[in-house]
Amino acid sequence: MLPTSTPMTITLRPITAENFEDVASLPLLAHQHAYLASNSYSIAQASFFPFLVTRAIYLNERPIGFMMYAKPEPHEDQGEFGIWRFMVSSDHQGKGYGRQALARLISEIRSHPDVKRIFISYKPENEPAKIFYASFGFRETEVDDEGEMVAVLSCGEESTNGS
């Protein structure tokens, strides 16, 4: 008889006191450190800014990644959300888990009634990121003041003028 395998389910969960250390210690590949702030820094940042929302990426009951997005603050353009952090631990990359997690995060952001656009940014030389985000419909728009490529995913009632 063949052993039955447990289905691999990806979920997003809030960062809590119970999962903080596991999420904070998730490893990256050496070359990826130049592209991402640490999970600890990001979680601390979110504790000071209520417009930031953090999520742990879980594979079944085990945290394997981290995501953080920004909701619009009252004084900003409403409907514009930004994905600020997205990482999958080095031992779980290349297995499709990041794709599932990003799809779930986009769905969570789209559940906000006022969402119009979702922004993400990455280093222009990060070709894998460009290809990955483009596969979700993100379109590059500009290089920002910090030298990062900005890409946008239009949601809801968005004009078709290319912005």
Retrieve residue 51's tokens. 């417009």
pLDDT at 102: 98
Question: Above pLDDT 90, what percent of the chain?
Answer: 71
Domain spans in the chain, listed from the N-terminal domain onward: 10-154
pLDDT tens digits, one per residue of 85-107: 999 998 998 999 999 999 999 99
The C-alpha atoms of residue 38 and residue 25 are separated, in whole angstroms, by 9
Which residue in 37, 32, 39, 29 sits closest to 92, CA to CA?
29
Which residues lie closer than 8 Å to 143 by C-beta, 6 or more apart?
124, 149, 150
Q: At residue 31, does pLDDT exceed 60?
A: yes
The C-alpha atoms of residue 23 and residue 2 are separated, in whole angstroms, by 34
Beta strands 139-143 and 117-122: pairing type?
unpaired
Which residue in 128, 124, 114, 125 sits closest to 151, CA to CA?
124
Architecture of the CATH domain 10-154: 3-Layer(aba) Sandwich (3.40)
Q: For the whole model, what pTM was predicted?
A: 0.86
CB 143 within 8 A of CB 128: no
Which residue in 112, 105, 91 sits closest to 120, CA to CA?
105
- At residue 162, the 3 state secondary structure works out as coil
Confidence of residue 68 (pLDDT cuts 50, 70, 90): very high
